[in-house]
Amino acid sequence: MAKKLALIGGGSVRTYYFIESLLKFYRSMDIGEVAVMDIDPEKLAYFGGIARYLVAREREELHITLTTDAKTALWDADWVVTTVRVGGDETRTQDERIALRHGVIGQETTGAGGFSYAIRTIPVMLDYMRLIRTYAKPDAPVFNFTNPSGLVTQALYDAGYTGIIGICDNATGIKIDTANALAVNASDLLVKVYGLNHLSWANRIEVGGVDILPKLFENDAFVQNFHQFLYFDRDLVRRLRCIPNGYLYYYYHRERALKNLSEAKETRGEFILRNNTDMMNALRAHSIETEPEMCLAIYREYMRRREGSYMSIELGGQTLHPERIDPRTLGIDSLLGQKPVTEIYEGYAGVVFNYIDSRKNDRNIDLAVSVPNRGAVQGMADDDVLEITCLIGRDGAKPMRFAPEEIDGTNLALMKTIKRYEKLTVEAVRTHSKAAAREALMQHPLVGDYALAKSLVDAYAALNAPWIGEWA
């Protein structure tokens, strides 16, 4: 019997990509229906409508329904994906500007901006989880792409919910970029990642059971040109001896990032708001029902502009053009071609579809997702949600174990610090406590000062009052 997938927050600009990817694989996963839900009827009509038009144009049998009612979308769903932006693009820009006015990094998921995003998002996501567990099928897996993904996933587990998989395309990006650099299939690689969402490291890349990462670090062309290293000073990369998540740029090069953000004419959020506003104005001039191809062309043009600007503000407007790596110089040819191509790598949709496919067919692929630690990393609590490589089989995600000597002490210390910040943020939301919120931001290395934390909490509590109410 065909399965149903519910997409909560489907008025997103990413919905088209999600459905485009799903069309290639929905039959093998027995998915027959996608219920796309959003509280914004206009965005749902255009972005959900463009996705639905794609299905009709390709004459596929996937049934797409659009609704503003969460209960309708969730009814009898086998799988649920949440991609909710509470407060919209407008509030994101204020998250970033408030941080910059206080002299700290303004980024939507990291530091002060991520704190603000989290405190208004967690209550909304808890409401959605109550609906999911009431109307979706019992124990339906929930893929949480709602940012800040790791912190929100932690809050949901702390509230007693289970069966949630925090997803992000950054961690799987390490595997994709490595496969591209080596000119191999991603299925040939096993990449071990540990850390937290937007704070993780890959410390082992296996091909045919052999860890090739030390050999890659011996190759200067790889260190200089590998995509994941482009944000970082190369002497730091050589010291790390692992592949850092790109968001660690804000920690490792904090002053550089802050200077670039402060001097820029607009923040990333302001660019996204302007681009999305212009896109919507252009779309409104056309009917999604009678001019779908024109709407699709407009959408693609504005998404091209968006994707071409990623991280450019933080890097001071630089456009990075690394040289192509010649994989023949790496000396690993004899290890390649060991596995059939089974994995799907197309943004966050690929993470979801890999999981569903691997669980349905018991493929046991490796996938970096955010789940409770359960002893995988010593030094972190069992209930700490980590972004960690898991083997995905019929029973779901099983975190791979990391021996103590595999975990760098400096990385572990940073993980523990940020996890303490996350736990305090969850406590602040649960208890409506400004005191816990101040301690959370004081703990965070991108804030790290009580008076500063106090001022930030007051500003963000006022901004987010429509969602969090009054905090004492």
pLDDT tens for 162-211 read 999 999 988 888 888 888 888 788 888 899 999 999 999 999 999 888 89
Question: For residue 188, what are the β-bridge partners?
Answer: none
What is the residue type of 83? T
Name 301's Cβ contacts closer than 8 Å, sequence gap at least 6: none
Number of C-beta neighbours around residue 423 at 10 A: 20
Amino acid identity, residue 229? Answer: F
Q: Could you give the C-alpha distances from 25 to 28, 85, 104, 284, in angstroms and in order?
A: 6, 27, 43, 32
* Mean pLDDT, rounded, for 116-142: 98
- More confident call, 208 vs 150: 150
CB 11 within 8 A of CB 48: yes
pTM assigned to the model: 0.94
Residue 218 has pLDDT above 70, yes or no: yes
DSSP 146-191: -SSHHHHHHHHHHTT--SEEE--HHHHHHHHHHHHHHTS-GGGEEE
CA distances from 173 to 61, 83, 179, 248, 417 (A): 30, 19, 10, 14, 25
Asked whether the predicted pLDDT for residue 319 surpasses 90, the reply is no
| Gyration radius of the chain over CA positions | 22
pLDDT for 122-133, tens place per residue?
Answer: 999 999 999 999
- Residue 244 CB-density burial (10 A; 0-12 exposed, 13-18 middle, 19+ buried): buried
Residue 316 has pLDDT above 90, yes or no: no
Quick: pLDDT tens for 338-394: 555 555 556 678 889 989 989 998 988 899 999 999 999 999 999 999 999 999 999
Cα 398 to chain center, whole Å?
Answer: 20
Burial (CB count within 10 angstroms: exposed 0-12, middle 13-18, buried 19+), residue 214: exposed
pLDDT at residue 336, as a whole number: 58
Cα separation, 210 vs 110, in Å, equals 34
pLDDT tens figures, 220-259: 888 998 988 989 999 999 999 999 999 999 999 999 999 9
User: Residue 3 and residue 104: Cα distance in Å, rounded?
Assistant: 46
Phi, psi of 325 (to 5 degrees): -85, 135
Percent of the chain scoring above 70 in pLDDT: 92
| 263 vs 316: CA distance, rounded Å | 8
- CA dist 468 and 295 (Å) reads 36
The per-residue pLDDT for range 395-415, each reduced to its tens digit, is: 999 999 999 999 999 999 999
Residue pair 365/358 in contact by the 8 Å Cβ criterion: yes
Tell me if residue 47 falls in helix, strand or coil. Answer: helix
Over residues 36-46, the mean pLDDT reads 98
CA 168 to chain centre: 3
Q: Which tokens sit at 381?
A: 């609590």
**CB-count burial class (<10 Å; 0-12, 13-18, 19+) for 300:** exposed
Model pLDDT, residue 27: 92
